[in-house]
Amino acid sequence: MTNSEGVHAAVRVATGTTLDYNGDWHALFTLNSITAGTFNERLLRWINFKLSANYNNLPQAMQVYAVSQGFNNWSSMTTIVL
């Protein structure tokens, strides 16, 4: 299992969906009342929601979120706690 597959599996558990990677993430965004925008826009708003923050830069937000989950960076995350 790759790192992204582990994260995807955690998203599926949280949403109860079995879509593709993007579809499952979009379901997670909707579950958290983030209903409009592109994938990246919704991901940034979701990360800000989870961190109670207001980042304007997606890569920076992803980095901070990964560290909050105990990883060095987004690509090293093997799972996430939702």
Q: How do the domains of the chain map onto residue ranges?
A: 3-76
What are the tens digits of pLDDT across the range 45-73? 999 999 999 999 999 999 999 999 999 99
Query: What is the rounded distance in angstroms from the CA atom of residue 8 to the CA atom of residue 17?
Result: 11
The confidence score (pLDDT) of residue 1 equals 66
Report the alpha-carbon distance of residue 64 to residue 24 in Å, rounded.
22
* Predicted model pTM: 0.94
- Res 3: pLDDT: 83
**Angle between helix 39-51 and helix 21-31 axes, rounded to 10 deg:** 50
d(CA 58, CA 45): 9
Average pLDDT of span 37-51: 98
* Residue for token pair 């996430």: 80
Over residues 16-38, mean pLDDT: 96
pLDDT category, 29, cuts 50, 70, 90? Answer: very high
